[in-house]
Structure 1
Amino acid sequence: MSKAIVLNEKFEKSDELALPESFAQISPHNLYLYVKSYAAEMRANSAHTKNRSAVSGGGKKPWPQKGRGGARAGSIRSPLFVGGGVAFGPTNRKNYTQKVNKKQKRLALEYALFEKAQNGNLFVVDSVNVESGKTKDAAAILKKLNVRDALVVKDLVDEKTYMAFRNLPNAYLIEPNELNAYLAAAYNAIVIEKAVWENLVKEG
């Protein structure tokens, strides 16, 4: 059974917390679908070309229909001409959104948490507070945990703690309403306050 590591106020291991058994029964395909949907929504979708109806000019035939010995041409807006429209080019009107229902989003998050617990990188702590507001103190927390990078989930982010974490390239501080399966999967470890964890397990 996968377990979350419970930390004391010094961010040292003090206990372990068993994850709900239902977490282990979730298919990883739920996480795949959510990450795919999240990445699709993040697409800039800025590539755009004009087709022959959108470019200017072309009111008159370039040359007479007959008599010059060449092919017929009706408009210089044709893709055959330099400066004409583009045939089958990209357009920013394309919708890349992929629907994922609410239950599947929930299952994806639970599987991402289960995966972190399996690797020993899910940490539950009473509170994450850096009263000094100094980045070195926030960095010291990650150093104690011995992780590459971490997603820190705090019930209510205060100004001092935010200032301490904001300049760390290997940490991201969020509140519970920002937590999703993509972020949970992207970071090497998750540090989550106990109140937030209890709400997550209760909702599940």
Structure 2
Amino acid sequence: MQMLKVNSYSAKGTKLSSVTLPKTLEEKENLALLAQAIRVYEDRQHPGLAKAKTRAEVLRTKKKLYKQKGTGGARHGSRGAPIFVGGGVAHGPRGIKRVLELPLALKRKALAVAVSLKVKEGQVVSVDALASLKKTKEANKLIEKVFAETKTKRATLVLSEANLGVKKIFRNFGKVRILPYKDINAYDVFFGGVILFDKEIFVTKKVKKETKK
């Protein structure tokens, strides 16, 4: 599989050399897994509090509708039966949330599938030196530049832990959603418009080993 390369921009909107995404975000096209991940996410966002009353719970008389025989009509019990308007509901929702699950490994794989698809569409970019942004005007220039290049009108800005403070500069943009990298999922990427990755996310920090004297 070819490495995923995306366009890179400076914080001021200047186009830089391309950036290679880490292998953890590379995955072959798997639409079935992506659809499953999106369904699980949407299901978990729904509170699932719907509850219908049964014939025993509706506030209606329990008296028999009419006598059993001699009317020529069908046999009926009370007006609370499900076949009557205002009666109870048969087999309705009971207010019990059904929670769908997806293993962590599949969640990560679905995220990589979504990112790979977005890269093929040219909807993923990297932004360098986000910490240098101080004004909303500067952030707006960057966003407008990316929108013009990718021909989109919505964006998701994915920030590293080190640059989470930058979100206050972007929070006034209604068309830009801001998320920390640790919280993104396949749904956010697939429906997030153009994805702006903070370049700091892909910087591997080298830990110096202490030498014993």
Tell me, yes or no, whether TM beats 0.5: yes
Kindly indicate whether the alpha-carbon contact (under 8 Å) linking 1:127 and 1:154 is maintained by their aligned counterparts in 2.
Answer: no
Pick the aligned partner of 1:116 from 104, 115, 118. Answer: 118
Kindly indicate whether the alpha-carbon contact (under 8 Å) linking 1:150 and 1:187 is maintained by their aligned counterparts in 2.
Answer: yes
Give CA deviations for 1:78-122 in whole Å, capped at 9, x if unaligned: 123332212344554352x33211111101111222222222332
Matches within 5 A, 1:3-14: 3-14=5-16
Distance 1:162 1:38, change over 3 A: same
Distance 1:171 1:6, change over 3 A: same
Distance 1:41 1:67, change over 3 A: same
Give CA deviations for 1:163-189 in whole Å, capped at 9, x if unaligned: 332231221111122211111111221
Kindly indicate whether the alpha-carbon contact (under 8 Å) linking 2:49 and 2:96 is maintained by their aligned counterparts in 1.
Answer: no
Distance 1:111 1:82, change over 3 A: closer
Q: Secondary structure at the match of 2:67?
A: coil
* Structure 1 equivalent of residue 82 of structure 2: 79
* Structure 1 equivalent of residue 174 of structure 2: 169
The unaligned stretches of length 5 or more in structure 1 are 200-204
Displacement of 1:42 in angstroms is 2.3
Matches within 5 A, 1:141-180: 141-145=142-146, 146=148, 147=150, 148=152, 149-156=154-161, 157-158=164-165, 161-180=166-185
TM-score by length of 1: 0.79
Distance 1:30 1:67, change over 3 A: closer
Deviates more, 1:182-191 or 1:57-66: 57-66
Matches within 5 A, 1:98-117: 98-117=100-119
* Structure 2 equivalent of residue 202 of structure 1: none
Distance 1:198 1:181, change over 3 A: farther
The unaligned stretches of length 5 or more in structure 2 are 205-213
* Structure 1 equivalent of residue 202 of structure 2: 197
* Structure 1 equivalent of residue 128 of structure 2: 126
Task: Tell me, yes or no, if structure 1 residue 54 matches structure 2 residue 57.
Answer: yes
Give the Cα separation in 2 of the matches to 1:9 and 1:79. 63
Give the Cα separation in 2 of the matches to 1:10 and 1:137. 6
Identity among equivalent positions (%) equals: 28
Distance 1:73 1:117, change over 3 A: closer
* Structure 1 equivalent of residue 209 of structure 2: none
Give the Cα separation in 1 of the matches to 2:29 and 2:72. 70
Give the Cα separation in 1 of the matches to 2:70 and 2:51. 38
Matches within 5 A, 1:13-24: 13-20=15-22, 23-24=26-27
Give CA deviations for 1:47-96 in whole Å, capped at 9, x if unaligned: 4432212212444333333455544332221123332212344554352x
TM-score by length of 2: 0.76
How many residues of Structure 1 are paired with residues of Structure 2 in the alignment?
194
